[in-house]
A = this chain, B = another copy of it.
């Protein structure tokens, strides 16, 4: 991992590192499917019109043009021009609208794909990276309970990964907006955008912003900031908000919603989910629950899982599709797992056994041995050349293959563990390696 990619912002993993990434993806898939989320993939390409349908966005988009096309790629402003998706939410919304007639709602899906952003790369921020999203989408309505559920699913999924302690920081837009209205600040989007800068620029500067840009009084700014300091691992945030003495129906609604999330989480995923009233996600179109997630001790990495509730993920005629979803930054997580060695792969190859050759004619017999082993799920290679046994063992060693299989001229079989040197008689129809040697293991350095 001292290697730097040959194109900056486009990380690529070595085989041993890829084993770790596969483990992360397989684990997420397993947990998502156990919770009834089915897989879909959308094309990597959308029209520019689709990508920009909500107006200007803060993401840099890669446009596409055919190299062999004679015309200039002047089509940049053409809404039918093609571009690479920058997240999985916009394509998913389009997919729901296009296929609404074929989907059973509430529709639950996970989606693990690459996305692209033409931004200046920096630590934790790549130009090509993998996201793993889960969403539940309703037709017309979507009970709030899905907000609770999706937070629990993500807490379970992240708990299954070889990463340090994490914390979902949950807030609710209704709570924040109701509070701002209750203190007389009507440009709630503007307040959210300012509060979003809290970690970056600090409370004093945010207070200044609120006054200079949004016309807040010092008291209003102070109240908004006070709300943002509330962080609790249980439902005591409700009392703390009430103590601020602000009243608004939207605030009440948000308090009740957030209370449900935190109450369920403190029971089912204790310590993993926190009410954090500074979470704003000011640039996105959420309408209720909002989530960011930090790795404890690695906060500067940024959020490893974000999302929330959209009252209208998509619309089709007069149909509205509300949704709630969360998106895990897989590449950001895997980069950190690798760079900090939170986990390592026990070997880089799937192969458990190399079948050695006595002589060039024994290749067919070696293939028979290999076929028997593979039929029982043991990944096996056959040596390509009848080199000296020492050389064949060295080949296995170099590739990290733990066992070498020998068949002598009389057809007697032996298998050698090249790490210990132990060699025993074995039957290709019966022998199996120890469970931990069957496949590459991903070994977490951290105790849970």
Contacts and interface: CB of A to CB of B under 8 A. Distances in A.
B6 A349 contact: no
A105 to B, nearest CB: 9
A12 B43 contact: yes
B364 A267 contact: yes
A425 B141 CA distance: 34
A146 interface: yes
A39 B18 contact: yes
Given A72-B72, A267-B364, A38 B66 contact: no
Given A67-B61, A143-B384, A384-B106, A18 B40 contact: yes
A384 B38 contact: no
Contact of A66 (B11, B63, B109, B149): B63
Interface string A335-350: 0000000000000111
Given A18-B39, A384-B146, A67 B73 contact: no
A19 interface: yes
A62 B60 contact: no
A267 B365 CA distance: 12
Contacts of A218: none
B36 A380 contact: yes
A242 to B, nearest CB: 24
Contacts of A382: 149
A63 B61 contact: no
Interface string A115-149: 01010000000011000000000000001011001
Nearest to A62: B64
A63 to B, nearest CB: 5
Contact of A38 (B6, B348, B378): B348
A204 interface: no
A58 B375 CA distance: 41
A283 to B, nearest CB: 16
A289 interface: no
A38 B64 contact: no
B15 A40 contact: yes
Contacts of A10: 43, 45
Nearest to A396: B104
A41 B12 contact: yes
A44 interface: yes
Contact of A68 (B6, B43, B74, B118): B118
Nearest to A152: B367
A235 to B, nearest CB: 15
Contact of A65 (B41, B62, B267, B350): B62
A399 interface: yes
Contacts of A38: 15, 18-19, 348-350
Contact of A43 (B7, B37, B379): B7
Nearest to A34: B374
A325 interface: no
A385 B143 CA distance: 7
Contact of A73 (B7, B63, B384): B63
Interface in A392-433: 398-401
Contacts of A109: 15
A61 B349 CA distance: 33
A20 to B, nearest CB: 11
Contact of A61 (B11, B35, B66): B66
A44 B385 contact: no
Please list the 6 inter-chain residue pairs (A to B) with the smallest Cβ-Cβ separation, ordered nearest first.
A36-B351, A66-B118, A36-B381, A33-B350, A73-B73, A10-B43
22 contacts: A6-B98, A12-B43, A14-B40, A15-B38, A19-B39, A33-B439, A34-B374, A34-B378, A35-B381, A37-B350, A38-B348, A38-B350, A60-B68, A61-B67, A62-B65, A63-B65, A64-B64, A69-B118, A72-B73, A104-B398, A104-B399, A143-B385
